[in-house]
């Protein structure tokens, strides 16, 4: 696809979902204690306010107690200016989230389609850049799903590339983000992978790997609280930042990008 300036960071709308009390039962790779639904909702409210302050219209969906991880709306769907794609999460406990978010997407998009085939893709494994879309293989995204997704994106006019997520990384975007303007934020493991070629990369310092997951939203970069070296590196690269607490989300392997579907509508 041709370079589409701002595709990966210029947005008008977002969809989020309020965390439920059942988030205490959410999936996690390491047990760091159960998140508090009340505390998570306070952090989520600050997140929504930051999106609105950046100029977005934000749809806030109600909590789903039957789906502990459902506040991470990025995983069951993927949005582009010309439509939304319902994905197929790799964790069995999350598959029902797809039907739950369909109506919110149909309220905003004329075209909403399902991922073809039977493979799995989590939205957290999909990194959108201005000239290509990277799909990382992981424990949640298999090759069958990634290839079907790449073919669908190709039909829609986008270049997509399937990549191997480094070992020990839950989701591709756990370890990298786009800062926009051709700049990537990534952990050293991601840099060493060679996925990003000759693109400019801001490297996350050792010990602050969680901070690799940020989101550029129009003129600001939202950054998790508590990672001063990464914050300084992003600002040193010329980006304006807003720091947000993500302490509860981190307990269930969540980050800033997971908490919203961001897209631009004409």
CA 47/CA 53 separation, integer angstroms: 10
3-state secondary structure of 102: helix
CA 250/CA 247 separation, integer angstroms: 5
Active-site pick, 71, 79, 176, 258: 258
Active-site pick, 13, 120, 171, 176: 171
- Token pair 């949640």: residue: 140
CA 190/CA 201 separation, integer angstroms: 10
Do 8 and 130 form a contact (C-beta atoms < 8 A)?
yes
Instruction: Check if 247 is active-site.
Output: no
CA 58/CA 217 separation, integer angstroms: 13
CA 6/CA 217 separation, integer angstroms: 10
The upper half-sphere exposure of residue 207, i.e. CA atoms within 13 Å in the direction of its Cβ, equals: 4
Instruction: Check if 258 is active-site.
Output: yes
Q: Which residues of 64-82 are buried (b: 16+ CB within 10 A; e: fewer)?
A: beebbbbbbbbbbbbbbee
Instruction: Return the active site residues.
Output: 171, 258
């Amino acid at each position: 696809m041709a370079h589409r300036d701002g595709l990966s960071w210029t947005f008008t709308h977002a969809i989020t979902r309020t965390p439920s009390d059942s988030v205490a039962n959410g999936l996690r790779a390491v047990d760091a204690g159960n998140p508090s639904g009340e505390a998570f909702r306070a952090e989520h409210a600050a997140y929504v306010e930051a999106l609105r302050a950046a100029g977005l219209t934000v749809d806030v969906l109600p909590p789903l107690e039957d789906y502990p991880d459902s506040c991470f709306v990025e995983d069951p769907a993927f949005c582009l200016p010309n439509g939304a794609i319902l994905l197929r999460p790799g964790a069995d406990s999350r598959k029902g989230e797809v039907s739950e978010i369909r109506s919110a997407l149909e309220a905003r998009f004329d075209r909403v389609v399902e991922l073809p085939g039977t493979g799995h893709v989590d939205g957290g494994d999909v990194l959108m850049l201005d000239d290509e879309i990277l799909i990382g293989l992981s424990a949640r995204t298999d090759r069958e799903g990634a290839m079907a997704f790449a073919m669908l994106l190709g039909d829609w006019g986008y270049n997509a590339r399937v990549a191997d997520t480094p070992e020990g990384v839950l989701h591709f975007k756990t370890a990298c983000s786009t800062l926009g303007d051709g700049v990537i934020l990534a952990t050293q493991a991601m840099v060493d992978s060679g996925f990003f070629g000759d693109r400019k990369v801001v490297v996350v310092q050792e010990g602050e790997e969680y901070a690799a997951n940020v989101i550029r939203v129009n003129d600001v970069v939202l950054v998790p609280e508590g990672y001063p070296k990464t914050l300084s590196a992003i600002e040193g690269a010329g980006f304006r930042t807003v720091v947000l607490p993500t302490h509860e989300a981190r307990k269930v392997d969540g980050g800033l990008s997971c908490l919203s579907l961001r897209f631009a509508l004409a």
